């Protein structure tokens, strides 16, 4: 329970986990979705448009 509380407090303070082993385009997209200001987060339709432009590669 303490760990869950610490995680919630960290998220409220803007802490985010480190993103590893993903292409830069995916990392950028994730970070946009994590913006503290909901108005700055992409809409679902924007996410679809962004992901449709991603090159098709294999993620390890």
What are the distances in angstroms from CA 21 to CA 3, 7, 25, 35, 58?
Answer: 25, 22, 12, 21, 12
> Residue 55: what pLDDT?
78
List the chain pLDDT tens, one digit each, 60 residues. 788 888 889 888 989 989 999 989 899 999 999 998 999 999 999 999 988 888 777 666
């Amino acid at each position: 329970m303490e760990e869950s509380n610490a995680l919630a407090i960290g998220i409220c303070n803007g802490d985010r986990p480190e993103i590893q082993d993903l292409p830069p385009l995916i990392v950028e997209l994730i970070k946009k979705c994590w913006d503290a200001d909901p108005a700055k987060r992409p809409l679902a339709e924007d996410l679809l448009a962004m992901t449709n432009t991603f090159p098709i590669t294999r993620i390890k």
